[in-house]
Amino acid sequence: MKIAIVKLSALGDIVHAMIVLQYIKKSFPKSSIDWFVEKEFCQILQNNPDIDNIYTLSLKRKKSNFYNEFIRLNSIGKKNKYDFIIDLQGLIKSALVSRLLGKNVIGFDRKSIREQLACLFYAKTFKIGYEQNVIARNTMLVCKALNLPIPKLEEKKPFLFSTSKSQINPTLLIVIGSSWKSKIYPKESFLKIVQTLNVETFISWGNLQEKQDAQFICDASHAKLLPKLNLDELKSVISNSSLIIGADSGPTHMAWALNRPSITIFGPTPSYRNTMLTSINLVIDCNKVINAKKLDKKDFCIQAIDPNEIIQKAKVLLAC
């Protein structure tokens, strides 16, 4: 059986979708699974033994790439003859990518996605509420598509793999940035956390502003600035960390995927939807109702979260 999974972006969303791989392979160990992804995120998928082929796309950078990529996708689909094509993204772009790979495309129904026109490209759809937890949504869609039993997600195996062998072993890893300004926790609050916990701390960063914020914390504490890491290197450092604290961002969600203790700080995005709570993966949020379909990027409620709440949870996790 040949299966194509389409989840193009972004980093955290891909991590949340990758959990389905182990369940497919458990039921269909001889199945072949290919993943279609934007090129910049391909390293998060690499070295996973449950993926047979990773196909990278460049749909974001230039409009001129669209035509060439669509020709290539059509050719791949004809060659590979997929039995199932599952669109876990639920966007018009991902639906079109899926349909170019073959006819048997499966996705969320029109009431379960924001871009309802995507359903025009699907052969079969399933209703799984948009407001539901994204990890559960991905798993349920795949299980319904392939007629698999719904697994116990809390019993998952780690599913990120790295060839890097980092010698950095943080007691605390701080993920300083996120994709929206309103999802970023204040550097002054992070500084208080670092100073209070007083354990070996490293700070990861992804762009110049994040590096400057990280340096601010390092200059006022014992924390150390990590070098610029690629995704493979970051997987290794996270797997070595005793505790990861960060905002709603890909690197923080990687901790959950690796079964490492974490605290995810939520601002204008719903914590109930964007992560999976476990005994070692905790959240702090703004303690208010957030509509997943009407997110407000100008909502900076994260700035009001008391760092002492995070410190209290961190002490418990570090004592485990």
Sketch out the chain's domains with CATH numbers.
2-151 (3.40.50.2000), 172-319 (3.40.50.2000)
The rounded distance, in Å, linking the Cα atoms of 264 and 258 is 14
Mean pLDDT on 275-283: 97
Taking residue 295's Cβ as centre, other Cβ atoms within 10 Å add up to 13
Residue-wise pLDDT for 161-216, tens only, equals: 999 999 999 999 999 999 999 999 999 999 999 999 999 999 999 999 999 999 99
| Token pair 């100073």 in the structure block, residue | 195
Please tell me the predicted confidence (pLDDT) of residue 215: 98
Q: Are 171 and 272 in contact (CB under 8 A)?
A: no
Question: Could you give the angle at the alpha carbon of 267 between the alpha carbons of 41 and 210, nearest 5°?
Answer: 50
Which sign does the torsion angle of CA 175, 297, 137, 37 carry? negative
**How much of the chain, in percent, has pLDDT values that exceed 70?**
99
CA atoms within 13 A of residue 277's CA, in its CB half-sphere: 10
Q: Write down how long the chain is.
A: 320
Long-range contact list for 22-29, CB < 8 A, 24+ apart? 22/50, 22/156, 22/157, 22/159, 23/139, 23/142, 23/143, 23/148, 23/151, 24/50, 24/142, 24/146, 24/148, 25/50, 27/146, 27/148, 27/149, 28/1, 28/146
Measured distance CA(178)–CA(118) in Å, rounded: 28
At residue 67, the pLDDT reads 84
DSSP conformational letter for 241: -
Tokens of 166: 């980092």
Cα(241)–Cα(309) distance, integer angstroms: 21
Looking up tokens 């349920």, which residue turns up? 140
**267 within 8 A of 183, measured Cβ to Cβ:** yes
On the question of pLDDT at 65 being above 80, the answer is no
pLDDT of residue 62: 65
Query: Following DSSP, what letter does each residue of 220-288 receive, concatenated?
Result: TSS-EEPPP--HHHHHHHHHH-S-EEEESSHHHHHHHHTT--EEEE-SSS-HHHHS---SSEEEE--SS
Could you give phi then psi for residue 279, rounded to 5 degrees? -65, -20
The CA distance from 262 to 298, in Å, is 26
pLDDT at 61 over 80: no
How confident is the model at residue 64, as a pLDDT?
Answer: 61
pLDDT at 320 over 90: no
Q: Is the CB of residue 307 less than 8 Å from the CB of residue 189?
A: yes
219-257 pLDDT, tens digit per residue, is: 999 999 999 999 999 999 999 999 999 999 999 999 999
Which tokens belong to 185?
Answer: 């926790």
**Exposed/middle/buried for residue 216 (C-beta within 10 Å: 0-12, 13-18, 19+):** middle
Residue whose structure tokens are 């004592």: 319
pLDDT at 7: 98
Q: Is the pLDDT of residue 141 over 90?
A: yes
